[in-house]
Every structure is written in C-alpha cells, then in structure tokens.
C-alpha cells in the first residue's frame, strides 16, 4: 500500500454523507484540478501531494483577514513541507488564507475557502488523487458557503503561525 492511500484512516467514510471529490478540466494545455473534502483532509492532501513537486519550489501566502502577503523562491521542499505541516491545524481551524506552492510545471493552491486547486502541464495529479480515494466528478458541487473578508473573525493563533512559518522559510513580505 502506498503512502498516499494510507491517508484514509480506518473507518474513514463510515459517517460521511458524500465522498471526497475532484473535477479535472483541461484548457489550453493546462490541467486544472479542483479538490473538495473536509478541512483537515484537504490540508493532509496538500501536505502529501507536495512530495511530488520539484526539490526547490516557490511559495506565495496571502492572509485574507489582514491582507498580509509573503513570497519565497527556490525554497527547499523538505523545509516547505515542514512549515505546511505545522500550519495544518490553524489553517483547518480558521481558513481565510491562500497558500500556493509552485514550480515551472505545477502549482498546488489552497484557497481561503479550504479547497485545493492544482494547475499542471500533465494529468498526473488525477492518478494520485484516485489512489488516495478521491472520486472524479463531472462538475463542481454548489458551494455551501462563500467567504467574505468581513465574515472572517480575528484569528491571532493563525496570524502567529503564519508569521512563524514566514520567518522560518525566510519569506519576503509584499506590500499590499
């Protein structure tokens, strides 16, 4: 059994009303995969999938609550994975952050609404998602909620975690 398929805990799905899903579209030779699941699993999925990126990646972060933005280029993948691992709990708890990990060929982006979007030059990500137990759908389900910056409550623990991750990775702040 592969590392990706082990992301499903024993008893997973027993009380779930719907499966984890993805929608795959291709436009102008760019594959776009939109992934939907619960908050914790989407972050676990991001963490697992980023192992398939190049050894050096770029990172962009935007906090919708404060407008704070950071970016870094040519960062070591193990360092980024470690930082993403530390952010999983606060991101799953509060949302409202856009986090993108990218190379010249692939981009993994967590949306502020806690969806995962992949942009790629190949369809390899769909095979990895299927191995993890995600089911392909024809279209994106209707959203159950929409994020507005005014609806986001202050999240000091998230701001502190983002600041720590930015410092650990030596990300540069971007003026809004």
Residue with token string 């594959």 = 31
The predicted structure's pLDDT at residue 149: 60
For residue 107, the 8-state DSSP code is E
User: pLDDT confidence of 141, banded at 50, 70, 90?
Assistant: confident
The predicted structure's pLDDT at residue 11: 44
Q: What is the mean pLDDT of residues 139-159?
A: 78
d(CA 24, CA 33): 5
The predicted structure's pLDDT at residue 145: 61
Q: Is the pLDDT of residue 173 over 50?
A: yes
Contacts of 142 (CB under 8 A, 6+ apart): none
pLDDT tens digits, 1-32: 555 555 554 444 444 445 799 999 999 999 99
Contacts of 95 (CB under 8 A, 6+ apart): 39, 112, 113, 114, 147, 152
For residue 144, the 8-state DSSP code is S
For residue 131, what are the β-bridge partners?
A: none
pLDDT tens digits, 95-122: 999 999 999 999 999 999 999 999 999 9
CA nearest neighbour of 12 among 38, 36, 48, 51: 38
pLDDT tens digits, 54-84: 999 999 999 999 999 999 999 999 999 999 9
For residue 169, the 8-state DSSP code is T
The predicted structure's pLDDT at residue 146: 64
């Amino acid at each position: 059994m592969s590392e990706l398929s082990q992301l499903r805990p024993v008893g997973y799905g027993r009380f779930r009303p719907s499966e984890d899903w993805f929608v795959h579209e291709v436009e102008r030779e760019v594959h776009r995969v939109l992934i939907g699941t619960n908050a914790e699993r989407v972050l676990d999925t991001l963490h697992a999938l980023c192992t398939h990126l190049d050894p050096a990646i770029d990172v962009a972060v935007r906090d919708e609550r404060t407008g704070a933005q950071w970016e870094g280029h040519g960062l070591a993948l193990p360092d980024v994975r470690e930082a993403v691992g530390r952010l999983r709990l606060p991101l799953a708890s509060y949302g409202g952050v856009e986090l993108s990990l990218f190379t010249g060929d692939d981009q993994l982006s967590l949306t502020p609404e806690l969806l995962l979007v992949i942009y790629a030059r190949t369809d390899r990500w769909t095979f990895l998602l299927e191995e993890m137990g995600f089911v392909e759908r024809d279209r994106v389900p209707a959203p159950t909620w929409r994020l507005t910056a005014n609806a986001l409550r202050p999240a000091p623990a998230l701001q502190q975690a983002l600041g720590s991750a930015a410092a650990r990775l030596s990300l540069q702040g971007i003026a809004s």
